[in-house]
Structure 1
Amino acid sequence: MNNEQPTKSIAIIGGGAWGSTLATLASRNGQDVQLWSRRSPQRLEDVLEKADIVLSAVSMSGVRTVVETISRAISPHAIIVTATKGLDPVTTDTPSQIWQAAFPTHPIVVLSGPNLAKELQQGLPGASVVASIDNEAAVAVQRVFSSLNFRVYTNSDPLGVELGGTLKNVMAIAAGACDGLHLGTNAKAALLTRGLTEIIRIGDRWGAKAETFYGLSGLGDLLATCNSNLSRNYQVGYQLAGGKTLAQVLANLEGTAEGVNTTPVLIQRSQSQDIYVPISYQVYRLLQGEVSPLEAFEALMLRDTKPE
């Protein structure tokens, strides 16, 4: 950490694995951190009152509730950071779009990257991205979290950074199913390569920059999430391929697999915008119980041949 960096007061909302990990990373840097969850004894309003940075690490389903709860409690000078990966089921908005609509005068920063919480908790090295249209806000957040073990980059494309982290969860379900079916390295490589192409296609239509998806929050997060047993979304696909039902998988899963909730929203919006998403569509059919994992992969292999 830069010794000249002044201490910031940081309020982190969400006491799950990711929120707790971010709290630890900032605390190790000497920051004044308060971690709040629904089980916390203190009032959320009191935690937020003097916070320089308010970071939301709640699940997608809790974003709107948190936004409504803190609408009058947040300091007018606070930077808002969102570390949630998902899409709103009603509006199909991203978390940062929800935050920006509610707090139009506050800088909004997206934090995303190939960050498996358990590895970072063990002190293993990692890297992430903080993205905002307000570069000063992004740099301020970068300084708070950067350390010898956790390298943080800035980016000016918050939508692309956010979508990279959100859409790769859908691909991670497919990757887990691929490994669960023991289809081999060739199939996995093809799946991830075409999956990245699909993510870029979606991002381009939604207004993100294509080059963002080749960075840490896109390709980096895709590689980490699609190749680790620590990934909840990967575990969903892997266990479905092992014969479990979705209900059985989710009942024993530690935390939320956001890809399960993201997939139907993605399909809804892609169909309305006529975006070609063959892998995401087969993941959707798999989660709906319309096809088995093997049938989903066969459907992908049987598509019409075409140029890459």
Structure 2
Amino acid sequence: MTNNVTSAPSTNPNPEASQTVVTQNENTSQPTNLTIIGAGAWGSALANVSERSGHQIRIWSRRSKETLAEAVQGADVILSAVSMKGVRPVVEQIQALHIPDDVILVTATKGLDPQTTKTPSQIWQEAFPEHPVVVLSGPNLSKEIMNELPAATVMASSDVQAAETVQELFACESFRVYVNTDPLGTELGGTLKNIMAIASGVCDGLNLGTNAKAALLTRALPEMIRVGAVLGADTETFFGLSGLGDLLATCDSPLSRNYQVGYGLSQGKTLSEILDHLEGTAEGVNTTNVLIDLANQQKIAVPISRQVYRLLNGKITPKEAVQTLMERDLKPEFDDLEF
């Protein structure tokens, strides 16, 4: 029996209407019904991955002709790929639909809520305490994934069975999927590295060299770990794909929107000018502001993030930010408090 195949998101993404894709997979007797909320580059890339695994996929956005209720009808998995500012509105809309308790909720958003400093998965889990919530995060540049270049990611959840279900949903020949049980650490790795990507863009834009870039990325990782440790994440998670892996990918690629922000600032452009010409959202800008508030409350040492914050808010120039970091007090490399 052969399934009919409609136009795939990978070849003809259309945000004006939800899209359904059904593909044939000999190993899948009952395709999983997946609804992806968010028809941007990331949502479309994830649909591109999953459609090759034999599942029925719908993509929904605010501009879809279909209602959200229609898009999630019969869904086994609902994946949110919206920006951080869109998380709460989407959560509230889904709450009103009273979806079945066995529907798996997946968040692929990287950011922190400005009002509560919560991560997207914490917001979803708080709203849906009876539902399994899975975090998807890793070194995943959407343009490379759309071009079917090899990549790997992580599905993290306290519900291992739910994570494994979503693992199978996205695993294909060009996308390797791992599972872990630390959703908070997985999420924070993908979120905090966006701040470091802004710093990395500045570093490259100022032509500071390979030594400086290596030092920046090396010191960025323990800074991320410090934040994670205070918030309750597992340290080892930050050495995985969603931490170190995502840090390396995002901080070394002009495809990263956060990297583009840092690079533009190093060239004398204003933040508003950069954001006006950016394709999509640079989540690192909002994340930086939220993190500094959190770091001030919790007394967490975040020297790199603090200079990025000062730079984004016009309190310092790129060169002054570098000089400030270089002039910090000398200390052991592996100090218990400072890493």
* TM-score over 0.5 (shorter chain): yes
Residues 28 and 54, structure 2, Cα contact 8 Å, conserved in 1: no
Task: Name the counterpart of 2:322.
Answer: 297
Residues 1:5 and 1:116: Cα distance change in structure 2 (over 3 Å)? farther
**2:59 is matched with which residue: 31, 35, 38?**
35
Aligned to 1:268: 293
Q: State the one-letter code of the partner of 1:171.
A: M
**Equivalent in the alignment of 2:176:** 151
Gaps of 5+ in 2: 1-24, 334-339
User: 1:1-308 alignment to 2 at 5 Å?
Assistant: 3-4=27-28, 6-73=30-97, 74-308=99-333
- Residue pair 1:240, 1:246 contacting (<8 A) in 2 also: yes
Task: Tell me how far apart the structure 2 counterparts of residues 202 and 257 of structure 1 sit (CA, whole Å).
Answer: 20
Distance in 1 between residues matched to 2:31 and 2:312, nearest whole Å: 45
Q: What SS does the aligned partner of 2:190 have?
A: helix
Per-residue CA deviations over 1:276-301 (Å, capped at 9, x if unaligned) read: 00000000000000001110010000
Residue aligned with 2:95, SS:
coil
Shift of 1:72: 3.0
- Indicate the SS of the match to 2:36: strand
Distance across 1 between alignment mates of 2:29 and 2:158: 22
User: 2:13 aligns to what?
Assistant: none
CA contact (8 A) 1:2 1:143 kept: no
- 1:177–1:293: 8 Å Cα contact kept in structure 2? yes
Deviation, structure 1 residue 112:
0.2
Separation in structure 2 between the aligned mates of residue 75 and residue 127 of structure 1, nearest angstrom? 30
Q: TM-score, normalised by structure 2?
A: 0.90
Tell me the CA shift for residue 123 of structure 1: 1.1
Larger Rg: 2
Identity across the alignment (%) = 63
How far apart are residue 30 of structure 1 and its match?
A: 1.5
- Greater RCO (CA < 8 Å, at least 6 residues apart): 1
Counterpart Cα distance in 2 of 1:5 and 1:256: 38
Q: 1:76 offset after TM fit, Å? A: 2.4
| Structure 1 position 5, deviation (Å) | 6.5
* 1:4, distance to aligned residue in structure 2 (A): 4.2
TM-score by length of 1: 0.99
Q: SS where residue 70 of structure 1 aligns?
A: helix
The residue type equivalent to 1:140 in the other structure is T
CA RMSD of aligned residues (A): 1.0
What is the aligned length? 308
Q: 1: CA distance between counterparts of 2:58 and 2:145? A: 19
Counterparts of 1:4 and 1:66, CA distance in 2: 30
Gaps spanning 5+ residues in structure 1: where?
Answer: none
Partner amino acid for 2:245?
A: G
